[in-house]
Amino acid sequence: MSALGRQRWLGPAMFLPAILYVVALVGVPFVLAFFYAVGDVKVGSVGYHFVGLANFKSVLQSPAFLRALRNSFVFTICSQILVLIGANILAIALKNAFPGRRFVRFIILLPWVAPVSIGSIGWKWILDSLYSVINWVLIRMHLANEFNPPMWLGQPTLAMMSVILVHTWHMLPFATVIILAGWTAIPKDIPEAAAVDGARFFRRLFQIELPMMLPIINVAVLFGVIFTFTDMTVVYILTRGGPYDTTQVLPSLAFFTGILGSDLAEGAAISLFLVPVLAVVAWLMLRTAHRAEVT
């Protein structure tokens, strides 16, 4: 065979194994999820009957599902707004060199680099019903009643707030380093020229620098939305969806229904509600990638 002919099949021979692996374990289950959602699959069941949209109908009538759907959006939107504000402030504080910068960066990164399940169990102890250190401080400051302190994970509104804040804690470093990468990449001459012209810090920030940073802030937000909307670890560890399903989000509800409750079909139907949001994010990312390819 000629060298050129060999070149032709070498490419596919080198990338096909990886692609087949990913197709088998991402593509196939992805299609199966749709297939399950319109069938009657249970753990251990044999055979398959098409049931149309029955699973979706039953899911949409369940108050627990509607609550989880709403929670998923509240969880994602609130934590991403907090992350975005915090990460931008923090990135500005970290962008220029100062003594101890490496150490500060390490401390700030800990919540992202430590396993999230383990960070969450740390918070479970901080928010404990009896020994919460936050309550200890609040009681000493006379901001909470010693005999009826706040139940951070036991009362629906507080529990939702706790879940959102712990997730924000986990995601903030990730967004910060991405935005920081953007700061080091924007050309220095324009803001400097503006500074020479006498533009003050905030004017420079909002009129010149942040608009230049917009594409990279976009990336941070898109990944943040994906990682938040599809996450169940924080909820699972802190509250198991409780009290009374009030902190359940779509992924955790899918887990409790499909895996623990053995109703694979209904679990799959619930998790499919993640797809529209994922599709929108993927589309936005493709647009960013395409723009980068063109310019």
Partner 1 sequence: MRLGIRARQRFGEVVHWTVLAVFSILLGFPFYWMFITSFKRGPDLYNLKNNPFIFNQKPTLEHLKLLFNETLFLRWLGNTLFAGIFVVAITLLLALPAAYALARLTGRWGGRVGIAIFLTYLVPPTLLFIPLSRIVAQLGLQDSLWSIIVVYPSFTIPFSIWLLMGFFKSIPRELEDAAMVDGLTRFQAFIKLVIPISVSGILTVVIFTFTLVTQEFVYALTFISSAAHETVGLGVPVFLVRGDVYYWGSLMAACLIASLPIAVLYNSFLDRFIAGFTVGSVK
Q: Restricting to residues 167-186, which ones interact with partner 1 according to CB under 8 A?
A: 169, 172-173, 177-178, 181-182, 185
Q: Select from 118, 190, 193, 210 the one that contacts partner 1 (CB under 8 A).
A: 118
Q: How far is the CB of 217 from partner 1 (least distance, A)?
A: 9
Contacts of 43 (CB under 8 A, 6+ apart): 262, 264
Measured distance CA(182)–CA(85) in Å, rounded: 16
278 touches partner 1 (CB under 8 A): yes
Q: Which residues of 6-44 are buried (b: 16+ CB within 10 A; e: fewer)?
A: eeeeeeeeeeeeeeeeeeeeeeeeeeebeebbbbbbeee
Contacts of 99 (CB under 8 A, 6+ apart): none
Instruction: For residue 261, give the DSSP letter.
Output: S
293 touches partner 1 (CB under 8 A): yes
Nearer Cβ to partner 1, position 73 or 136? 136
Q: Select from 230, 243, 246, 261 the one that contacts partner 1 (CB under 8 A).
A: 230
Q: Hey, what amino acid is at 264? A: L
125 touches partner 1 (CB under 8 A): yes
Supply angle C-alpha 234, 238, 242, rounded to 5: 110
The one segment of 16-24, 50-58, 76-84, 190-198 that binds partner 1 by CB under 8 A:
16-24
Nearer Cβ to partner 1, position 59 or 268? 268
Q: How far is the CB of 85 from partner 1 (least distance, A)?
A: 12
Tell me, by CB under 8 A, how many residues bind partner 1. Answer: 101
- As a dihedral over the C-alpha atoms of residue 112, residue 118, residue 123, residue 125, rounded to 10 degrees, the angle is -160
195 touches partner 1 (CB under 8 A): no
39 touches partner 1 (CB under 8 A): no
Nearer Cβ to partner 1, position 156 or 240? 240
Restricting to residues 53-72, which ones interact with partner 1 according to CB under 8 A?
none
